[in-house]
Structure formats: structure tokens, C-alpha cells
Amino acid sequence: MRITKFFCVVLLIISNTLKLCAQERVITTGVPFLLITPDARAAGMGELGVSTSADAYAQQWNPAKYAFSESNAGLGLSYTPYLRQLVDDIFLGSLTYFNKINERSAWAASLKYFSLGNIQFNESIAGTIVDQGSKRPNEITLDLSYSLKLSDKFSMSVAGRYIRSDLKINMDMDATSANSLGVDIAGFYQGDSFGLGSKDAIFRAGFNISNMGPRLKYDEGGQKDFIPTNLRVGSGLDLIFDQSNILGINIEFSKLLVPSPIAFYDENNNLYYQQPDISFFKGIFESFSDAPGGMKEELKEITWAIGTEYKFGENFALRTGYFNESEQKGSRKYFTFGAGFKYKSTNIDISYLSSTSKIRNPLQNTLRFSLTFNFNG
């Protein structure tokens, strides 16, 4: 049975780089699409969002923000092409809906679908190539969250997530879809307007511990994969020049709460790195102190991003940002740019990513789009 050439390229980039990454002590997880930015607003600001003002896509970044939403309800649709310079049918799509129950609480639900493209299977029978059908590997999540204001300035939320990963590509493989559950706990602070020099300002801060849940298992004899449990913390400041000109400045730090690869030796005494076989709960706590290089290496596991958003009235916004990851831990480094347009109750956002790393970014030179409908009835 033969797999098309393009799939070999995709598989190499997305899935089969794990051994190479482990040798460099890069932390790897299953279902990494959970960390792909789905919305163009956050993508345009360096891919951050834990402490920005509330919008329909807070489910991805910090569901506690929904309690502070100025809209009573909202619906978000987004489309993110992936590896567009190589193939044209790999993408991430998302659908998010939120609704404020009252002035202090809200709920939200979302669906994310990650398609790895259409895979054609052919088999040579008596010298003739016979079509054996096709398959579309995919991964999907369903989320539900609830947020509540604990005070006029602070809210918290909890979210539950069902995760399904169906990457079986060969009918002869002894593999099944992998399933898991994840839980998020988040908090958000939004202060009152205060004077800052000749301007007014609003300070925000937030945190989110996301995807806390059991490891994935694709077959009975295979190794279990950690899901990408992740910690985000950040803060932001809106500078209000007047009602029509507002500059938002945000900074965010992120760290995977899964074990670092540690040294092992095979039967030939060859050194290799692999994550230890421990529970996800133990892995969360050990992730703060298990790097082979000590605290110096632990600090390299923290990514940071800075982003700005300039709003011109209610109808137009310009955004830019920068994301940085240590060269020893993945070397993702890129600038992002974006814009937002509003017409009545509809927001249209676009973003663009320009990589500054020597390692090719799957989203390099790719436009992302998202659409938001705000309901205030």
C-alpha cells in the first residue's frame, strides 16, 4: 500500500519529528493543535490573549474574560490554513459561542477541528495500481466553560474539554482513535479607569492553566502521549487618548506543564532523551524543576510575547506583536501583523505572520481570518 508523496512531507513535519526534537530536549506532546491560535485578533498581537479585553474567542485564551464582555452574546468563526506553502487542505477551523447569563456570569461552548488533509491509498495488484480509497486524519475538541465575577474587578472560570485524535492512516495498522479529557482553570482582573499623566488607562491581568488531563494512547502497546497542559500569565494596559483613540499594550508568558525529556541509554549504551512514564498530575508539578540543565534550562522553556492594538473609534483596529521561544526549545520567533474592521455588530479580523527564525514556521506568510457576530439583544 502506497501513500502519496505530499503526505510523507506532512507526516515528517507534523508527526515524525518527535525523535529529533527529543534529542534536542524540545518538549513534545500529543494533539499540539490545541495550542494553535485560532483567531486573527490574537494572532495579530504576537499570539497572546490571556489578558486582553474580552471577545468571542476568550475560550482559547481565558474564559474568565467572558464575565467582563460588553456584548451579551457572541458567535465566532475562524479559519487558519496550515502548511499552506506545501499543501492546500490542512487547516484549523473553530466555532465559538458565548452568552452572558447576567452581569456577573457567562457560559461558552466551542468546537475546533484540525484536518490533516485527504490521504489517497493505492495498492499494486498484479502490476496494476488499484485505488484503495482515501482517509482524512483529523483531530477535534469540544469545550464548555462557565465564568463568574467574584468581585467587580476579578473573575474566574472553569472549562471542560473532550479531545479526540484520529490519526490512523493505514488500514493494516493496529491503532485506534485516541481520546482524552482536559480541564482549564483561569482568572481575569480588569480594573477601573485611572489617570496616567494626561491620559486615562485601564489595567488588566490574567492567568490560565489549560488542558489538564490524562495522557493519550493510540494503541495497546504504544507509548502514551501527554496532552499540552499549559500555563499562561500576562498583563496589559489600555492607554485612552480619547474616546476614538485607544492603544493597548500586552505581554504574556507561557510554559508547558509537561515533563522535560530526560536522559536514557539503550542496550548499546547510546544516549537518547525521552519523557518519563509518569501521570499527567505528577508531570505538572515536576515540570517546574525536571529540566536536565537545571533552572537555566527551565527558564528557556518559557516563551514570551508582546503585542499592541491601536483602536480608531469603534470600527477599525491595527495590531502587531512579537513571539519568542528559546532556540534550544523549538526556536519559534516571529513578528505578526493584523487589522480589524467592524460593521454594525460584525467584526472581521485578519492577521499575517512573518518568521525571523532559521526554522520554517508552518504558518509563515499565511493570512488568517476570523469573523465575529455580537448580539446585544
**pLDDT of the residue at 11:** 44
Domain segments of the chain: what residues?
2-375
Closest of 229, 344, 253, 314 to residue 53, by C-alpha: 314
**pLDDT of the residue at 18:** 39
Single pTM value for the model: 0.87
Sign of CA dihedral 16, 21, 26, 27: positive
Q: Which residues contact 72 (CB under 8 A, 6 or more apart)?
A: 99, 100, 375, 376, 377
240-263 mean pLDDT = 92
Say if CB 237 and CB 248 are below 8 A apart. Answer: yes
Confidence check: pLDDT of 266 > 80: no
Q: Which residues contact 59 (CB under 8 A, 6 or more apart)?
A: 96, 98, 108, 109, 110, 143, 145, 159
- pLDDT tier, 34 (very low <50, low <70, confident <90, very high otherwise): very high
Confidence check: pLDDT of 20 > 90: no
Q: Which amino acid is at 89?
A: D
Per CATH, which fold does 2-375 belong to? Porin (2.40.160)
Confidence check: pLDDT of 8 > 60: no
Confidence check: pLDDT of 17 > 60: no
Closest of 293, 305, 345 to residue 44, by C-alpha: 305
**pLDDT of the residue at 6:** 41
**pLDDT of the residue at 87:** 76
- pLDDT tier, 62 (very low <50, low <70, confident <90, very high otherwise): very high
Q: No. of H helices and E strands in the chain?
A: 6, 20
Q: Across all residues in the chain, what is the average pLDDT?
A: 87
Alpha-carbon distance of 69 to 36, in angstroms, equals 23
Closest of 359, 292, 293, 294 to residue 325, by C-alpha: 359
Q: What is the pLDDT of residues 193-219, one digit of tens each?
A: 999 988 999 999 999 999 999 998 877
21-25, 182-186, 334-338: range with lowest mean pLDDT:
21-25
- pLDDT tier, 221 (very low <50, low <70, confident <90, very high otherwise): low
**pLDDT of the residue at 250:** 98
Helix (H, G, I), strand (E, B) or coil at 300: helix
Alpha-carbon distance of 130 to 122, in angstroms, equals 6
Q: What is the pLDDT of residues 283-318, one digit of tens each?
A: 999 999 988 888 998 999 999 999 999 999 889 999
Q: What is the pLDDT of residues 302-311, one digit of tens each?
A: 999 999 999 9
Q: What is the pLDDT of residues 73-93, one digit of tens each?
A: 999 999 998 887 777 788 999
Sign of CA dihedral 43, 45, 49, 50: positive
Say if CB 151 and CB 187 are below 8 A apart. Answer: no
169-173, 185-189, 220-224, 253-257: range with lowest mean pLDDT:
169-173
Q: What is the pLDDT of residues 129-173, one digit of tens each?
A: 666 666 788 999 999 999 999 999 999 999 999 999 987 765 555
